[in-house]
Amino acid sequence: MITFMNNSDSEEEPCNERTSLMSAESPPVPSYQDGLQASEAGEAQAHRKRRAGSSRSPNSVTGGETSGSGVPVRESAPESEEEELTLKYGAKHVIMLFVPVTLCMIVVVATIKSVRFYTEKNGQLIYTPFSEDTPSVGQRLLNSVLNTIVMISVIIVMTVFLVLLYKYRCYKFIHGWLILSSLMLLFLFTYIYLGEVLKTYNVAMDYPTLFIVIWNFGAVGMICIHWKGPLQLQQAYLIMISALMALVFIKYLPEWSAWVILGAISIYDLMAVLCPKGPLRMLVETAQERNEPIFPALIYSSAMMWTVGMAKPDTAARGPSQQTWNAAEDGREHLRSPSHAESQMSEARSPVPTRPVTSLEELDEEERGVKLGLGDFIFYSVLVGKAAATASGDWNTTLACFVAILIGLCLTLLLLAVFKKALPALPISITFGLIFYFSTDNLVRPFMDTLASHQLYI
Amino acid sequence: VFLGCAAIAFGPAAALVLLTVAAEPLRVIVLVAGAFFWLLSLLAASLLWFVSVQLSGREDAALLLLGAAAAVLLQELCRFACFKMLKKADEGLATLSEDGQSPISLRQMAYVSGLSFGIVSGVFSITNTLADSAGPGTVGIHGDSPYYFITSAFLTMALVLLHTFWGIIFFDACERRHAGGLGLVVGSHLLTSGLTFLNPWYEATLGPIFILTLCTGLWAFGTAGGSFHNVLKCLSCKQEPEGQVMLYSALQVPPEE
């Protein structure tokens, strides 16, 4: 889900800010088991595009950032100014998301293509109990649909459970769950991954070295993700755990089930985020009511975050900048509830605490980032990874899915700029990805192969 | 072989991307959008070819020729669609910007979209070949040419550059409603594709294609506003007197904060 960050009472505020940001709550992505539901829980959250009034960095020239996104939106006059500033920064945000998504996909595809382990069939998860080894096509289809139903129901149950936990303020439980899941990801899955990579390249490593490496990796990861750390290190860790999770899915989901699950989960994402009674939407609204930040460790953020320690400027003086500042916190820490935020200090970096207001606004632009839930990373990578694993050794399919996902992401961010409310990030990208996968694999591949065998170019 | 051919095929493209596109987010988005449009055209062309093969029941060279021609025409059609979309985007960006000028000019978009068509076309043509070149095997063991990889790499490089030039010329021709330009772009694309049918008679294909690339490049350079005079000026690094410009901008009201 891509959402905007919002201050609870900002809904009514007129044109000034980017108040349309909703506090993006992304339910935490618990352990990999719940990773499923966690995934949709942690859907994308986009940072709100700031419309800091000061940012009139025009289209000019310099440095080139801030150019609006590709396709403009003609809106009604009163909103046009907000639109304008929003779209100005749209392009930069899109790129800030392109890069990590691309990196995650590259890691997954590189692993799939080189390490045999992740393409070997070695059992299935308990969430997909039906086997696909049946002789008839109809039976196989039926089994994959049943698998999908089981998986999606598990996801729904977990999400609802999470929403209930959140509603009844069982924060400790949620935190414990989150920590447990990231522990498992960072230690166990990394150990397995490292083991397989070493096996593939026939590199010998003794246990003490392995222990030290994994210990350091995991410990630093836990600190970076759940507490404080350099932004880029945190981003790198989040990308790595998304890739690891995606690899697990690619390995353990049987083929047809994987595609049906991808389709079903984008529909689920659409409904959970947009329907009034959807669990994710309720979560967002509850968090908004309470003015609370989102759970850490489930969101990829591309900008630095301000710590709670920053002095709270007086609200009266800075209408817009307050908004932007809040946005900068990205919902993790809300200015209004510093105590709460403290307990959930996530990857906040501590920027220079004393900045004059105006420069804060200007800085915000550069530093304001976009957020995307890790679940989206995971499912994008699952799609591309599955394409790489099962498309008969064809690179064209992988590349086509990659472009499709990027375009879907671009369109989703555009819609986000238009609608300014929580949006699911999966549907458009996954739809494009699925269409391109099946059509490229079945139609384009024979065509291009025939052309290549005669060395023909079109 | 793998690295060499990859560098030959994608060297210029990578350099162009790194130097001109990577820095600006808007151009990167145009790049990805262009790639998407090309993929759509490829999809349509493959569908056509696939259906025709199924209908006729057998695969032969004539169908392939038709398929390739259809692919070329569809690519140009999608280039036109890309032009339309970018034009609308340009207008929108211009209206949304503060000083009425879009942050990226149509010419830049023409260049980037041409480059994107070229890159994705080259990538789709040669990635599988490159992947195979890394693995064990003997080239031309059944009597085909042993120069398959390197000629493919050179052809891909030419194709990437050609697409870039075609993009510039095409957009300019569409902008000025100059049908001759359009016709020439489509014609030269068909010619290039047709020439590749003469492979493996490499003298007849590589030579003309490179000459065509050069000519198209010069034409595109001229279309984009360059000229011999400009090049000389650029090389001599002369500064233009900008007194008047400064005065004018000094008269403008500074933008409101």
Tell me the domain boundaries of chain A: 101-303+371-454
**Range scoring the smallest mean pLDDT among A149-163, A338-352, B107-121:** A338-352
pLDDT at A17: 35
- As a whole number, mean pLDDT of residues A242-269 equals 93
End-to-end Cα spacing for chain A: 39
Residues 74-93 of A with CB under 8 A from B: 74, 80, 83-84, 87-88, 91-92
Radius of gyration of chain A, Cα coordinates, nearest whole angstrom = 22
DSSP label of B17: I
Residues 43-62 of A with CB under 8 A from B: 53-54, 56, 58-60
- CA nearest A59: which of A87, A93, A88, A94? A88
Q: How far is A410 from chain B (nearest CA, A)?
A: 8
DSSP label of A117: G
CB atoms within 10 A of CB B99: 12
DSSP assignment string, A373-435: EHHHHHHHHHHHHHHHHHSTT-HHHHHHHHHHHHHHHHHHHHHHHHH-S-B-SHHHHHHHHHH
What is the Cα–Cα distance from A325 to B100, expressed in whole angstroms? Answer: 29
- Give me the active site residues of A, please: 269, 376
B130: left (phi over 0), alpha (psi -120 to 50) or beta: alpha
* Tokens linked to B167: 């993009």
pLDDT at A145: 93
Q: Which residue of B has its CA nearest to A396?
A: B124
**Range scoring the smallest mean pLDDT among A231-240, A285-294, B118-127:** A285-294
CB within 8 Å: B128 and A452: yes
Pairing of strands A299-301, A371-373: antiparallel
Q: How far is A116 from chain B (nearest CA, A)?
A: 16
Identify whether the C-beta of residue B168 lies closer than 8 Å to the C-beta of residue B110. Answer: yes
Give residue A36's pLDDT band: very low, low, confident or very high (50, 70, 90). very low
DSSP label of A442: I
- As a whole number, mean pLDDT of residues A185-204 equals 93
Identify whether the C-beta of residue A119 lies closer than 8 Å to the C-beta of residue A112. Answer: yes
What is the Cα–Cα distance from A172 to A152, expressed in whole angstroms? Answer: 26
pTM greater than 0.80? no
Which residues face A301 on adjacent strands? A371
Percent of chain A with pLDDT over 70: 65
Cα-based angle A213, A215, A26 (whole degrees, multiple of 5): 115
Radius of gyration of chain B, Cα coordinates, nearest whole angstrom = 21
CA B66 to chain centre: 22
- As a whole number, mean pLDDT of residues A396-412 equals 94
- Between these two residues, A340 and A196, which has the higher pLDDT value? A196
- As a whole number, mean pLDDT of residues B116-121 equals 96
Q: Is A2 strand, coil or helix?
A: strand
- Average pLDDT across chain B, whole number: 87
pLDDT at B98: 75
Q: Which residue of A has its CA nearest to B49?
A: A447
Q: B43: which chain A residues are within 8 Å (Cβ-Cβ)?
A: 436, 439-440, 443-444
Q: A431: which chain B residues are within 8 Å (Cβ-Cβ)?
A: none
Q: B96: which chain A residues are within 8 Å (Cβ-Cβ)?
A: 68, 72, 80, 83-84, 87-88
What is the Cα–Cα distance from B56 to A245, expressed in whole angstroms? Answer: 46
Strand residue runs (E) in A261-386: 299-301, 371-373
CB within 8 Å: B96 and A84: yes
Identify whether the C-beta of residue A166 lies closer than 8 Å to the C-beta of residue A15. Answer: no
Percent of chain B with pLDDT over 90: 54
Give residue B17's pLDDT band: very low, low, confident or very high (50, 70, 90). very high
